[in-house]
Structure 1
Amino acid sequence: MERVILLGATGSIGGSALDILRAHRDRFELVGVSGWGNKERLAEIASEFGPRYICLREESREFMSRFPGKEFLFGCGGLDQMAALTDADTVIMAVSGTAGLMPTLSAIRSGKRLLTANKESIVCAGEIIMDEAAARDTELVPLDSEHNAIFNLLTRIDPDTVSEITLTASGGPFREKPIDETVTLEQVLDHPTWDMGRYITANSATLMNKGFEVIEAHHLFAMEYEQIRVMIHPQSLVHGMVRTSDGSLYLSASPSDMRIPISLAMFFPGLPPQTGEPLALGGLTFDFADPDWVKFPMLGLAYECGKAGGLMPAALNAANETIVHAFLDGKVPFFRIPEMVADVLDGVTNKSAPSLDEILETDTRIRVVCDEMIGG
């Protein structure tokens, strides 16, 4: 029985992971769970799965009284503690944002198998995380559909023969629509193929989500940025491609269902039982196109920051997260997000090989700069 910690259980990734846990109770036991956004949903999960450990954003006597005998942890420190619990084998990291950085390191340092959808931690501190994982021979498996596709292809292909990898993107709601001052929140959140949280959906509308995935792929797969391509694929059926030195192109295709990459990660190195209906090729259309770099400048900005390295990816993440949340709160217009993020980054002094403290300090400082810009 594999003992599992699920951090971020009340979000969309957490919900898909729970579907896999529910379907395979003979193989997985949920021993710890966190969820900050929805206490009632967390209570339902705790009642159904009976985990020993529960992490809340803050202490709640009313909530705790409903689950006598459980061990409670609180806040960011609680996430770190839960990720390092000795009576667990695997951590599923479904926490979004930089709140996942320290729990990611805690899971690695405590020898856990880490299945992660927290791209921000790898974007901000990819070198540190991958060095720590390599030093401890940690099994780190990505959960995002694109990285999971590449990961599974690369386990079946001689890495010395790989010449490039390709991440696909649906193109979001503005693939064929203009981005201007008339864009509404409802339009931004109307993703054509995936059902995700508001922040990630907004990032998909700017292609910033794909930009973060490029930086993440650089670290996960030790690929140079010149070897990482992005292709617009509106059907969202092909999730990743690998080209080898002989010119052959290998691709991974499946329905747009996050339970598929999550189950592949949970059962790795084996294969899971079939999840949902298999992809039937008859009658399907597969379209591919290069991104519109002018309409979606955030993608190019991500490549620039990734290549610059050092503090720039962390600064990009902090600026984007703060300004996008301001848009979601109605404080800035959507079309200004790229301009505002670029203006903040122009004021960053970069440093190569920063320490973890320097990365966290940059994250904090950039958020303050953004708040002042938004407030002004």
Structure 2
Amino acid sequence: MTLKRLAIIGSTGSIGRQTLEVVNDLRDYKVVALSCGHNFSLFRKQLMKFKPDYAATLGDAVYLREEFPETIFFFGADGIEEMLEAAMPDAVVNGASGAVGLRYSLKAIETSKRLCLANKESLVCGGKLLIEKAVQRGVEIIPVDSEHSGIFQLMIGDSRPEKIFITASGGALRDYPLEQIEEATLEEVLKHPTWSMGKRITIDSATMVNKGLEVIEAHYLFNYEEKDILTYICRNSLIHGGAIYRDGVIKLHVGEADMKIPIAYSLSYPVRTYSSPHIKLDRLTLSLEEIDYRRYPALKLAREITGVPSKQIAYNAADEVAVKYFEKGAIKFGDIFRIIYRVVEKVFEASPHNFDEVLEIDRFSRKLAEREVIEL
């Protein structure tokens, strides 16, 4: 059996680490390229175990080249793209964070046959730019995010649903009185009811910015208008998504909250080769709740700007800045949405034609957000 060649961008992050665990189980992939930012101690362990032909680091880790002479190293801002060009993998898992992930997704489309996409900003900031390039080159984009993976799987081999929906946990503040949300502390916001995640995604879960980003992603991935992408709260996070058909049939994607499952599927599609225990069906409780937009105005705003690339970029950039200041205790929880709203309002409608134009809008939006923090 010829092993498929795999490159992982962000191998020391959560998605990257779990992808390497999955590869151990699937055994039909050879890891030929790994990249990381600055976590060199973990990266070194990964290099020792998987012995990739190519590696890249954003930070200065030239000493690794001496320790692993059989691996070809690339460094700095261009290193990951150079690594992908050299490796020419069959598949790329993009687990990078931030708008720069779009840059890597665009390069992955040039150098591979399948992009396993876990970087939200690639579609939020890239939108049609990314999708059209993939179509032109005949490259598959398989979503890794659990909600989008669920929708992707539900739509295979059937008529196109009239509507689709994705779910949210509701975050740590889902049962807080409305009047108390404004002043919620970082400690309160980080007490997620069902997940253990990094700080930004946990805060984004409380504001539902993450769900707003996912609505935007679904718009481009599945080519649905915003009004046909529904969102509901699922308190136990067992329902990941659903498809609603014209004859009244509703299909649900249900499963454990385990990211290794959608990661494995993105690699093995169209077959299922990964093994994981299923939920005990006699203990299964499924329920959905409507979303109160008074509690989650950031989701409502995301819906209003879906399909407007420049404002999507501004939404994401402003959130990153606002969350950073909330973590520092410099702004209130309620200020996160205010900053996002004001920045989105000030950015003109535009459709960038390349990554450089995306980056220009992103930088402009971040400067606006920084100014809004000062003026609060």
TM-score interval w.r.t. the shorter chain? over 0.9
Mark the CA change 1:85 to 1:152 in structure 2 (over 3 Å): closer, same or farther.
farther
* Number of the residue aligned with 2:352: 354
- Kindly indicate whether the alpha-carbon contact (under 8 Å) linking 1:76 and 1:99 is maintained by their aligned counterparts in 2: no
* Number of the residue aligned with 1:372: 371
Letter in 2 for 1:9: S
CA RMSD for the aligned pairs?
1.6
Percent identity for Structure 1 against Structure 2: 36
Return the alpha-carbon distance in structure 2 between the equivalents of residues 267 and 88 of structure 1: 15
Using the size of structure 1 for normalisation, the TM-score is 0.94
Letter in 1 for 2:299: L
Unaligned 5+ segments in structure 1 are none
* Number of the residue aligned with 1:300: 300
Mark the CA change 1:143 to 1:137 in structure 2 (over 3 Å): closer, same or farther.
same
Return the alpha-carbon distance in structure 1 between the equivalents of residues 87 and 38 of structure 2: 26
Return the alpha-carbon distance in structure 2 between the equivalents of residues 118 and 323 of structure 1: 20
Runs of 4+ in 1 over 4 A off after TM superposition: none
* Number of the residue aligned with 1:228: 229
Deviations 1:81-137 (A, max 9, x none): 233334411100011111201110011122431001111110111111111111111
Return the alpha-carbon distance in structure 2 between the equivalents of residues 127 and 253 of structure 1: 29
Deviations 1:169-201 (A, max 9, x none): 111111112453542222222222223222112
User: Equivalent residue of 1:311, what SS?
Assistant: helix
Q: How does 1:200-349 map to 2 (within 5 A)?
A: 200-275=201-276, 277-307=277-307, 309-349=308-348
Return the alpha-carbon distance in structure 2 between the equivalents of residues 151 and 76 of structure 1: 32
Count of residue pairs the alignment pairs up: 370
* Number of the residue aligned with 1:8: 10
Return the alpha-carbon distance in structure 2 between the equivalents of residues 260 and 326 of structure 1: 34
* Number of the residue aligned with 2:22: 20
Mark the CA change 1:329 to 1:42 in structure 2 (over 3 Å): closer, same or farther.
farther
- Kindly indicate whether the alpha-carbon contact (under 8 Å) linking 2:26 and 2:274 is maintained by their aligned counterparts in 1: no
Deviations 1:39-59 (A, max 9, x none): 211111111111122211122
User: Equivalent residue of 1:115, what SS?
Assistant: strand
Unaligned 5+ segments in structure 2 are none
Letter in 1 for 2:288: F
Return the alpha-carbon distance in structure 2 between the equivalents of residues 329 and 68 of structure 1: 42
Using the size of structure 2 for normalisation, the TM-score is 0.94
User: Equivalent residue of 1:173, what SS?
Assistant: coil
- Kindly indicate whether the alpha-carbon contact (under 8 Å) linking 1:81 and 1:106 is maintained by their aligned counterparts in 2: no
User: Equivalent residue of 1:128, what SS?
Assistant: helix
Letter in 2 for 1:205: A
Q: What displacement does 1:375 show?
A: 4.1
Letter in 1 for 2:352: P
